Amino acid sequence: MLAKIFGWWEGATIGTYFTVGRRGEFIGKDQFGNKYYQSRDHVSYDGRKRRWVIYDGYADASKVPPDWHGWLHYTYDEPPTSSPCRSSDGKSHTCRI
């Protein structure tokens, strides 16, 4: 229990879960178990809704797949759950950023 309160290095803390539950909208989950959220009401200073990831386990940015990375950084408007990366011929492929 104390690890969930103070142990941010092993995943999200209770305070993070509280904030996500109050302000976040669940968008999707990747193959590594990471969960992606977007703010429900709060808009960032540049007029876009904030986006973030809750890592499954140790917080390591290299565990974010390329398509989700593009969504997190506003390269793609639609998340990979609704619009996966596709090539010009319509076949799925590994996204490049």
Supply φ then ψ for residue 61, to 5 degrees: -65, -20
Cα distance between residue 97 and residue 22, in whole Å: 32
- At 87 the pLDDT is 45
Q: What percent of the chain has pLDDT over 90?
A: 37
- 18-43: average pLDDT: 89
Tens of pLDDT, residue by residue over 63-86, are: 999 999 999 999 999 999 876 665
Cα distance between residue 32 and residue 53, in whole Å: 12
Give 3-60 as a DSSP string.
HHHH-GGGS--HHHHHHHHHHEEEEEE-TTS-EEEEEEEEE-TTSSEEEEEE-SSS--
pTM of this structure: 0.72
Task: Say which range, 23-27, 42-46, 84-88, has the weakest mean pLDDT.
Answer: 84-88
